Structure formats: C-alpha cells, structure tokens
Amino acid sequence: MEERRKQPRATVDEVAYIAGDGSSMRCRVVSLSSQGAAIEVPDRTFIRPRFSLMLEKDRIIRACRVVWSSENRIGVEFLD
C-alpha cells in the first residue's frame, strides 16, 4: 500500500477520550503525528465525522476530522 501521509506517524499506545455532542468515549491512540492519528475505538458506530480528542497524558484537546475507518480503527486529521 502506498504511503499517503504528509508526515510519518510514531507508534504509540496512549489512552485518550473522544468528545462531542455532550458525551465522551474512552479510546486508544495507536499512532500519532503532528497532523493526525490512528485511533482504536470500542464502537465506531458512535463516531461523528468531527470531534474533539484529548490524550490522557498531555490533556491537550485537538479538533479532529475522520479521514478513514476500518473495523475498530479510525484515522483522523487534526484541524487548526
């Protein structure tokens, strides 16, 4: 498969939270770059096209847009 990312992602294993529409969901970030992330979610049915992501470690809230999904993983782009 051809790599299409502008910047390579580092493999990580970090607890995070997806928030939107007044609710939140615990998830796990499995790869991360300054421009986006791959995230394992318990159920992608409840994932909106845009949401906020907060890593438990740094507590920085990032606005995200889903760019791909597959089974229990999603790929997101960080928005400005």
CATH code for the domain of 23: 2.40.10.430
What is residue 36's predicted lDDT score, i.e. its pLDDT?
96
Domains contained in the chain, number: 1
Query: Strand, helix or coil at 79?
Result: coil
Residue 58 counted as domain residue: yes
What is residue 38's predicted lDDT score, i.e. its pLDDT?
97
Partners of residue 26 on adjacent β-strands: 17
Measured between alpha carbons, how far is 53 from 2 in angstroms, rounded to an integer?
A: 27
Tell me 35's DSSP state.
S
Residue 48 counted as domain residue: yes
Residue 65 counted as domain residue: yes
Whether 54 contacts 38, CB under 8 Å: no
Domain that holds residue 44: 10-78
pTM: 0.86
Per-block average pLDDT, block size 10, for the chain (80 residues)?
64 95 93 96 92 96 96 94
